[in-house]
Amino acid sequence: MPAAIAIVGRPNVGKSTLFNRLTGRRAALVSDRPGLTRDRRTGEATIAGHAVTVIDTAGLEEAPRSSIAGRMRTQSELALASADLVLFVFDARDGIIPADTVFARLVLASGVPAIPVANKCEGRAGTQGFYEAFRLGLGEPIAISAEHGEGMGELSGAIAGALGLEPQGSPEAGGDVPREHSAVRVAIVGRPNAGKSTLVNALLGEERMITGPEPGLTRDAVASDATWQGRPIRLFDTAGLRRKARIFEAAEKLAVSDAVRAIRFAEVVVLLVDAEHPFEHQDLTIADLVETEGRALIIAVNKWDLVSNKQRMLKELRATAAERLAQMPGLAIVALSALAGRGLNDLMSAVFETYAIWNKRVPTPALNRWLAEAVEQHAPAAAKGRRVKLRFVTQPSARPPTFIAFCSRPEAVPQAYLRYLSNSLRATFGFPGVPIRLKLRKSENPFARG
């Protein structure tokens, strides 16, 4: 008999969206209106090549048993009692509210193994709420966006581990699709007339996008599917990004908004700069936006055939990137000519390599060995005569790699020491050229009582 997985949580946290994502079909109604789901709904899903039953439940609410909300809660409790595993879903943008804490206690009292799932973690809005989940007592949360499909690989792995499912099958047999088989979303961004559409055409091998010397030809963020050396990719050609002060037309404002949206939902962003005018202020502003959104970044220098002293130019570009984009040391810089079709292999190799780094996860034991060595080499300075103790570190999510270090007094740790830890983390585990998030939280070791 397949294992049963119950999805529970308060209303409007995205349970039905997650149910649809796991089952691969839009069986459950989805809306911003809370309380749309009232009855239990079951569906079949495949986790690590094994068939499982997923149960979508109504939102848990505190209400009299005789009311509609109370009867909905009774149905959810019945689903909880019959489940082999519980996915406790909460809205990471709202953070942990009292209702979440009440219902987490209900899950703990049931004795059913549970995985806390931080939904709506796309962008930076859900970061704080994700950290708060450790106090629920349900263990380490998994960060996802059920709507956009982010973090589903990590969630599937956690489900398989909790149910003791050994991986089997293949993508063709209906098993989970590994990352190397899914299309890598690549956004090509840059200033107007940098050659973005020409580069997309060169990668596609056909004249799909309109090109020309006139800036501003591209307005929509156009997606194109292709395969590069056997790997599927989805390319997004975007409008040129200029300074806000220079944007007057409504159409260009919409085009820029579309380009920014493409950055947010891409996985790897290729910032195309003009070799004749590299690293202007707007290029650096775009790079900073990509880092803020947590996307993997590659610098592609176009029109390289027009450069006379190539070695000197490349050395200068690397020095400028190291100085002006110090928040992402080790950025890949690829020289190419989109018009002549040169350097495309180097660019796509950098895309796949950076994508792999962006998805990398480090085991918790290795992280804590690193933390002990880093603190031994350079301990944080005492604040007001009291020593700051760094106790534990874990990586709750990738894409971008995100780490949480638990310490006695996070407010007393200076930014310089946080940069030291981040740089040491990059060097030890190999995270060049991708944004990483290292946050300090005041808490006990969440696994100490386990």
pLDDT digits (tens, 9 = 90+) for 276-313: 988 888 889 889 989 988 899 999 999 999 999 999 99
E strand or H helix at 404: strand 402-407
Percent of the chain with pLDDT strictly greater than 90: 31
449, part of any domain: no
Distance, in Å, from the CA atom of 348 to the CA atom of 327, rounded to the nearest integer, reads: 23
**For the ranges 198-212, 237-251, 315-329, the one whose mean pLDDT is highest:** 315-329
**Which residue would you say has higher pLDDT here, 449 or 430?**
430
Are 33 and 126 found together in one domain? yes
pLDDT score at 307: 93
Give me the half-sphere count of Cα atoms (radius 13 Å) on the Cβ side of residue 233: 23
Q: Which of 358, 382, 414 is the last residue of a domain?
A: 358
Are 218 and 329 found together in one domain? yes
Domain count, the chain: 3
Are 246 and 102 found together in one domain? no
450, part of any domain: no
Q: Which residues of 112-134 are buried (b: 16+ CB within 10 A; e: fewer)?
A: bebbbbbbbbbeeebbebbbbbb
Are 207 and 288 found together in one domain? yes
Tell me what the mean pLDDT of segment 333-362 comes to: 94
447, part of any domain: no
Tell me what the mean pLDDT of segment 185-212 comes to: 80
322, part of any domain: yes
Condensed to tens digits (0 to 9), the pLDDT of residues 400-415 reads 898 989 888 888 899 9
Q: Which of 57-61, 114-118, 197-201, 216-220 is least confident?
A: 216-220
Are 189 and 239 found together in one domain? yes
**Considering the entire predicted model, what is its pTM?**
0.66
- For the chain, what's the residue count? 450
381 band by pLDDT with thresholds 50, 70 and 90: confident
Are 151 and 191 found together in one domain? no
pLDDT score at 269: 95
Beta-strand pair 3-8/50-56: parallel
Distance, in Å, from the CA atom of 184 to the CA atom of 194, rounded to the nearest integer, reads: 23
Residue 267: is its pLDDT beyond 50? yes
**Which residue would you say has higher pLDDT here, 271 or 107?**
271
pLDDT score at 135: 78
CATH number assigned to the domain comprising residue 427:
3.30.300.20
102 band by pLDDT with thresholds 50, 70 and 90: confident
Are 331 and 438 found together in one domain? no
pLDDT score at 31: 41
**Which residue would you say has higher pLDDT here, 144 or 29?**
144
Are 413 and 348 found together in one domain? no
Our measurement of the distance from residue 76's CA atom to the centroid of its chain's CA atoms, rounded to an integer in Å, reads 30
Percent of the chain with pLDDT strictly greater than 70: 78
Q: Which of 126, 148, 173 is the last residue of a domain?
A: 173
pLDDT score at 443: 61
Tell me what the mean pLDDT of segment 378-392 comes to: 85
Side by side, the strands of the sheet bearing 402-407 are 390-397, 402-407, 437-442
Q: Which of 77-86, 223-232, 334-343 is least confident?
A: 77-86
pLDDT score at 210: 46
CATH number assigned to the domain comprising residue 29:
3.40.50.300
448, part of any domain: no
Residue of 118, 238, 226, 256 whose CA lies nearest to 187:
238
Are 304 and 186 found together in one domain? yes
44 band by pLDDT with thresholds 50, 70 and 90: confident
pLDDT score at 178: 44
**For the ranges 203-217, 241-255, 405-419, the one whose mean pLDDT is highest:** 405-419
Are 20 and 159 found together in one domain? yes
For 165, other C-beta atoms within 10 Å of its C-beta total 17
Distance, in Å, from the CA atom of 113 to the CA atom of 79, rounded to the nearest integer, reads: 14
Residue 75: is its pLDDT beyond 70? no
Residue 172: is its pLDDT beyond 50? no
What residues pair up with 390 in beta bridges, in sequence order? 407
Residue of 198, 240, 247, 242 whose CA lies nearest to 219:
240
Are 246 and 336 found together in one domain? yes
Q: Which domain holds residue 28?
A: 3-173
Are 55 and 151 found together in one domain? yes
pLDDT score at 16: 86
Q: Which of 173, 206, 239 is the last residue of a domain?
A: 173
User: What is the chain's mean pLDDT, rounded?
Assistant: 80
192, part of any domain: yes
pLDDT score at 124: 59
Angle made by CA atoms 326, 332, 333, in degrees to the nearest 5: 100
| Per-residue tokens: 55 | 């149960």
447 band by pLDDT with thresholds 50, 70 and 90: low
